[in-house]
Chains A and B, each alone.
Chain A
């Protein structure tokens, strides 16, 4: 029982990740989520390329454009915050 208890204790993470770094964690969270956002956008663009883009698709084109420019918008703030500050 004592052995199991010690094993469970060893599984518990400390409140601080040893060797962790707040800036690095923030950096990779921000850029990681941005990368996911970009990847989804590229996937949607690839799907759109297979379609005939006419007036019937105007709504989809508009909304995918809005999604993509949101990715753009995020980078406008991420770039100076992460690389120029």
Chain B
């Protein structure tokens, strides 16, 4: 068991250094696409259009459940503090969807 791990580790090491040695001046990575699927619901279209421009929907699903008031405050913060150009007419639909996705009553 231990020997097999050692061999696997060694080949990984050789492979890694080979890649690096071949092109040591340009260092690149490819980021995985890993966004969660979003359930249907009122406001989904607005959420996708406005929020996912800048960040993954995991910014919502990785949060604790918050009240509608707290989600409203988040959308306001994104607009006023961080500079997200969300049309005022879409705010309440976005909040609807955030509450559907990860809301709580109190």
Instruction: Determine if chain A interacts with chain B.
Output: no
